[in-house]
């Protein structure tokens, strides 16, 4: 049985529970290493399931947010709604919850009926 098999065809969620019980037996420090290398940890936990390890892939931070996207998501709001969102400084602001980017726009340029920019 592989880990894929363990998680596939899991009608009662029993396999998922089993995977979680095994994972719960890991101490937090073991998860971040370096005492137990990740592969050793996998083998220790899931040796009966014969885990498959894929090649590592580089991970980079990225966010797909943009002012255009913010404008797009604001386009459903009426001028009245946009007015409520307008700050004391006369701007509509938006913060990306993922990357923290901050956007400031003229309220006249967003929402329904705006010229879109």
Based on CB atoms, which residue is closest to Zn ion, 52 or 69?
69
**Long-range contacts at 47-54 (CB < 8 A, ≥ 24 apart):** 48/1, 49/1, 49/2, 49/3, 49/5, 49/6, 50/1, 50/2, 50/3, 51/2, 51/3, 52/2, 52/3, 52/4
Whole-number minimum distance, CB 101 to Zn ion, in Å? 4
Of 5 and 95, which CB lies nearer to Zn ion in the complex structure? 95
Q: Shortest gap between Cβ of 67 and Zn ion (angstroms)? A: 11
Smaller CB separation from Zn ion, 28 or 64? 64
How many residues belong to the site for Zn ion (CB under 5 A)? 6
41 is an interface residue for Zn ion by CB under 5 A:
no
Compute the least distance from the CB of residue 97 to Zn ion, in Å. Answer: 8
Which positions from 50 through 109 interact with Zn ion, judged by CB under 5 A? 63, 65, 96, 98-99, 101
- Measured at the alpha carbon of residue 47, what is the angle toward residues 43 and 50, in degrees to the nearest 5? 100
* Contacting positions for Zn ion (CB under 5 A): 63, 65, 96, 98-99, 101
């Amino acid at each position: 049985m592989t880990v894929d098999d363990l998680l596939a065809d899991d009608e009662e969620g029993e396999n998922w529970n089993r995977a979680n019980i095994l994972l719960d037996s890991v101490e937090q420090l073991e998860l971040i290493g370096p005492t137990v290398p990740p592969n050793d940890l996998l083998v220790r936990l899931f040796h009966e399931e014969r885990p498959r390890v894929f090649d590592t892939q580089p991970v980079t931070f990225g966010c797909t947010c943009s002012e255009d996207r913010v404008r797009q998501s604001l386009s459903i709001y009426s001028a009245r709604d946009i007015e409520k969102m307008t700050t004391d400084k006369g701007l509509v602001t938006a913060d990306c919850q993922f990357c923290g980017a901050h956007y400031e726009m003229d309220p006249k340029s967003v929402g329904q009926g705006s010229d879109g920019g």
